[in-house]
Amino acid sequence: MNTKRRVVITGVGAVTPLGLNAQDYWNNLIAGKSGAGPITYFDTSAYDTRFACEVKGFKATDFLDRKSAQRMDPFAQFGVISADMALRDSCLSVKDMDPDRIGVVYGSGIGGMITYEAQFTNYMKGGPRRISPFFIPMLIPDIACGYISMKHGLKGPNYATVSACATASHAIGDAYRIIQYGDADVMVCGGSEAPITPMGVGGFNAMRAMSTRNDAPEKASRPFDAKRDGFVMGEGGGTIILEGLDHARKRGANIYAEFVGIGFTADAHHITAPPKDGEGAIRSMKRALNDAGVQADEIDYINVHGTSTPLGDISENLAIKRTFGDHAKKMNISSTKSMTGHLLGAAGAVELIATIMACKTDTIPPTINYEFPDPACDLNYTPNATVKKTVRYALSNTFGFGGHNASLLVKKYIQD
């Protein structure tokens, strides 16, 4: 007999290139706005790529006290602030709950890269005595989930995931399982990233992974378009509040959607490239469907990984066709990375928020910059304009360097 608990989403929070809260982020997604523009954080004149999707108008001290902000790398700031927003959105009275029943699983693909570069510069100028005592705590990828738990007194399961672009999806999937099996009633989960640094941009340029469309940054992220030439780097954080349905009902919570399935797989193929046949992604999506007990033809929308890379988009397109068969061309698909850029370890969280909102509002955000069809990418990408359509079940895909695949499945919540 299956005794696993049902799990629902009761809060969301986001700090993104399209807005400093989840509602602004969503409004700008469905308006089809691009978050890309020239990099303002450092001199890019020597770089092949001189643009990114920065979080605009962000000032940490608007959300945190000065001392706390100074002791956090921006990736941790994005995480803590988006978690604060999500907890407020959920209307949870944390102080009235058993702290042992609330946990945090929160990740970052890279961690405190800005801190690392700054402290290495200090070391090169003045030796080891110039290194800050806060260097290590600001650097390590688990510190965001540590800060979230400390700030709110959350004493349940607490750890970080690190799996490149699949990081946040793995964090959310783990949190889902923790509630399903009764180890917590509420989980704060997601991911954050702040990779727009000299070494971050230079490193991805050295791999030839990023777009170099410097003359038109807002047109550079163009998933599935024939003229795509690489991904656009983004930054930010996203947080989801997962809750046992029984717990949420008891307190009269607002429920965005029900979380019903996860699929985690490995390509075991290559450090950066997906297999051409999409085999790992196929197994990931099928596992999510099987976990939820849902048939392929019941899915209405997929928020795809869709990075705007020449090989990755073709592989995912093929994987969807092989997973969904004839139904593949009946679904709406979109890559919100066309607007946010690629938030790396935070991607799974901010894209799941978009997937949840699509399910709740029956509104599918577009893939912008889709101008030149690629014969190898032949599905319905919801090109350039938002679509109103009933969304009963929706899937979110994230695939990371190292061959990490994650698929998260949500459904429209209808009160029993």
Selection from 276, 256, 277 nearest residue 394 by Cα: 256
305 is catalytic: yes
Token pair belonging to 207: 């791999």
User: Residue 167 and residue 15: Cα distance in Å, rounded?
Assistant: 17
Contacts of 324 (CB under 8 A, 6+ apart): 296, 297, 299, 331
Of 152, 170, 247, 342, which one is the catalytic site residue?
Answer: 342
User: Phi/psi zone of residue 111: left (φ > 0), alpha (ψ -120 to 50 degrees), beta?
Assistant: left
Q: What is the number of H-type helices and E-type strands within the chain?
A: 13, 14
The torsion of the CA quartet 56, 59, 62, 63, rounded to 10 degrees, works out to 90
Place of tokens 């397109």: 317
Q: Which residues pair with 101 in a beta bridge?
A: none
Instruction: Decide: residue 198, CB within 10 A, 0-12 exposed, 13-18 middle, 19+ buried.
Output: middle
CA angle 216, 217, 221 (to 5 degrees): 115
Of 53, 165, 189, 377, which one is the catalytic site residue?
Answer: 165
Residue pair 183/102 in contact by the 8 Å Cβ criterion: no
170 is catalytic: no
Selection from 410, 400, 414 nearest residue 262 by Cα: 410
Of 152, 247, 305, 404, which one is the catalytic site residue?
Answer: 305
User: Residue 52 and residue 204: Cα distance in Å, rounded?
Assistant: 12
Q: For residues 327-352, b (16+ Cβ closer than 10 Å) or e, as one string?
A: bbeebbbbbbbbbbbbbbbbbbbbbb
327 is catalytic: no
Which residues are the active-site residues?
A: 165, 305, 342
